[in-house]
Copies of this chain bind each other. A is one copy, B any other.
Amino acid sequence: MTDDLVLRRQVCFALYAASRALTDVYRPILDEFGLTYPQYLVLLVLWERGDDAPTVSELGAALRLDSGTLSPLLKRLEAAGLVVRSRSARDERRVEVGLTADGAALRQRIGEVPARVARATGLTQAELVALRDSLTRVTETIHRQKEQ
C-alpha cells in the first residue's frame, strides 16, 4: 500500500537515524582520543583479542567490513601509533594487526566511554539490552538469508 511510503513509519529510517544520532554522541567523546567511531570499533576487537593479533580478514568478519574500508583505516591507526601491521611469516598474503603499547594503554583511558554514551540515550539498562538483542537478531537474520 502507498501508505507504507511514509518516512516516520519506516523501521529502516528509524535505524538509519538512530545510528547516526548515536554516532553523534560518540564523536565529541572519541575526538578527545583522536579516534573516529569505526576506528574505535577496530580497537574494541583488538583489545578483546589480547595477544593474538587478528588478520585484516578476521577484523572484517568481526565488524562486517571489507579490506576496501579497513586498509586505509588501519593505515591511519598505524600512522597514529596505535597499531602495527605485519605480514604473517607463514602466509605472506595475510597481514596481522597488533596493538602498540600506546594502543593497548588507550583501553584504560577509554573505559568509561560506553557508560557515558548509554546515559545519553535516555534508556534504562534493561531497555538497552532488549534493543541490542532485537537489533542483533535483525542483523543475523539478514546475513543468514544472504548466505543462502
Contacts of A7 in B (CB 8 A): 41, 44-45, 48, 62-63
A14–B127 touching, CB < 8 Å: no
- Given A12-B117, A14-B136: A110 in contact with B5 (beta carbons within 8 A): yes
Please list 30 pairs of residues, one from A and one from B, whose beta carbons are closer than 8 Å in the complex, sorted by A's number: A2-B111, A4-B114, A5-B107, A7-B41, A7-B45, A7-B63, A8-B136, A10-B132, A11-B135, A14-B139, A15-B18, A15-B19, A15-B22, A16-B37, A17-B135, A17-B136, A18-B135, A18-B138, A21-B138, A21-B142, A22-B142, A24-B146, A120-B145, A121-B138, A121-B141, A122-B138, A122-B145, A123-B134, A130-B134, A131-B131
Q: Which residues of B contact A10 (CB under 8 A)?
A: 44, 114, 132
* Number of A interface residues in the complex (CB < 8 A): 63
| Majority-rule SS of A interface residues | helix
Contact A14 B135 (CB under 8 A): yes
Q: For the complex, what is the distance from the CA of A16 to the CA of B46, rounded to whole Å?
A: 18
Could you tell me the distance in whole angstroms from the C-beta of A123 to the nearest C-beta in chain B? Answer: 6
Judged by a CB distance under 8 angstroms, whether A6 is at the interface is yes
Since A11-B128, A16-B19 are in contact, a sample of 11 more A-B pairs with Cβ atoms closer than 8 Å, ordered by chain A residue number, is A4-B111, A5-B44, A6-B44, A7-B62, A13-B41, A14-B133, A16-B37, A17-B64, A18-B139, A120-B141, A123-B138
